[in-house]
Amino acid sequence: MTRIAVVGGGRIGEALLAGLLESGRASKDLVVVEAVPARAELLGERFGVRVTDAVADAVAGADLVVIAVKPQDVDSVVTELAKADIGEGEQETVLVSLAAGVPTSRFEAKLPAGFPVVRVMPNTPMLVGQGMSAIAPGRYARKEQLALVTEVLESVGKVVTVSESQLDAVTAVSGSGPAYFFLVVEAMIDAAVSVGLSRDVATQLVTQTFLGSAALLEESGQSAVELRAAVTSPAGTTAAAVRELERGAVRSAFHEALHAAKTRSAELAGAAD
């Protein structure tokens, strides 16, 4: 079995841990690094895995080392990794970074020569097993190692492989995407209240409408354009509403939003490198 060390027991680290156990991974093959005693105790009790505050202890013998810490904590973690017996002898360890905006080159420069690194852009729906993760190989990561990382991340959602140069665009779309979705939901609920519905009823209507629409888009085999057209009768209520959305330049707003997010992601990655 693949031994996995998760460095960082925050929300993303916990989500990955829960997904791995749910998918059938044995608790004995998982270890978590968490420095906050109360948090470490909670994770150990909740998931029945070994929790330690020592990076070197956790990564010894690991096949995958998952970095799930904040970007500002990466350097201290990598320093500890560089001191550990990681990837030595016949043991080939792959480092998987979930740290936003930190390029693979930053890890490769501080780890032993030729160390395989895979960078991941996850998103928060992985907290409920519905994440969208994009993975990008570093200079030394091989196809079979990417396949292993894909298998692990599929325990908390879906996975696509991209080049590292595309991760800023991925960040703009799926990384930040949940915030756009929640903003639209918030606006639609407020609008529903303004036309006479209670907030509780409006919330139920909007939430289930988005859930059902997403499922229909995924399972029908039809495009968003086709599905929208099927709902939009000529001169009907939907047509009137869509006309107002188009008048409000909703397409242009999303275009500008994604370009702004991509640009900012690139700026932050440059500062982190």
How confident is the prediction along the chain (273 residues), in pLDDT tens digits per residue?
789 999 999 999 999 999 999 888 999 999 999 999 999 999 999 999 999 999 998 998 899 999 999 989 999 999 898 888 776 655 689 999 999 889 999 999 989 889 999 999 999 999 899 999 999 999 999 999 999 999 999 999 999 999 999 999 999 999 999 999 999 999 999 999 999 999 999 999 999 999 999 999 999 999 999 999 999 999 999 999 999 999 999 999 999 999 999 999 998 887 766
Can you give the pLDDT at residue 100?
A: 87
pTM of the model: 0.90
Q: Which residues contact 159 (CB under 8 A, 6 or more apart)?
A: 133, 134, 135, 150, 153
Can you give the pLDDT at residue 201?
A: 98
Can you give the pLDDT at residue 240?
A: 97
Can you give the pLDDT at residue 9?
A: 93
